[in-house]
Amino acid sequence: MSSSSSDENDEIEERLDDIIEDFIDEIYDDIVEAELIPQRTRSYTERHREGGQHQLSNDYFNDDHSIYSIQTFRCRFHKNKGLFIRIVDGLEQFFPFFQQRKDATGRWGLTALQKCTAAIRLLAYGNSADTVDEYVRLGESTALPCLHHFTDGIIQLFGDEYLRRPTAEDLQRLLDMGEKRGFPGMVGSIDCMHWEWKNCPTAWKGQYARGHGKPTIVLEAI
Instruction: Delimit the domains of the chain by residue range.
Output: 49-162, 176-221
Rounded to 5, what percent of the chain is helix, strand, coil? 60, 5, 30
pLDDT at 27: 74
User: Which one has a higher pLDDT value, 31 or 187?
Assistant: 187
pLDDT at 149: 95
Query: Cα separation of 53 and 112, whole Å?
Result: 10
Over residues 63-76, mean pLDDT: 89
pLDDT at 114: 95
**pLDDT interval class at 153 (50, 70, 90):** very high
Quick one: CA dihedral 152, 162, 128, 51, positive or negative?
Answer: negative
Is 60 exceeded by the pLDDT of residue 36?
no
Tens-digit pLDDT profile for residues 71-116: 999 989 988 999 999 999 999 999 999 999 998 888 999 999 999 9
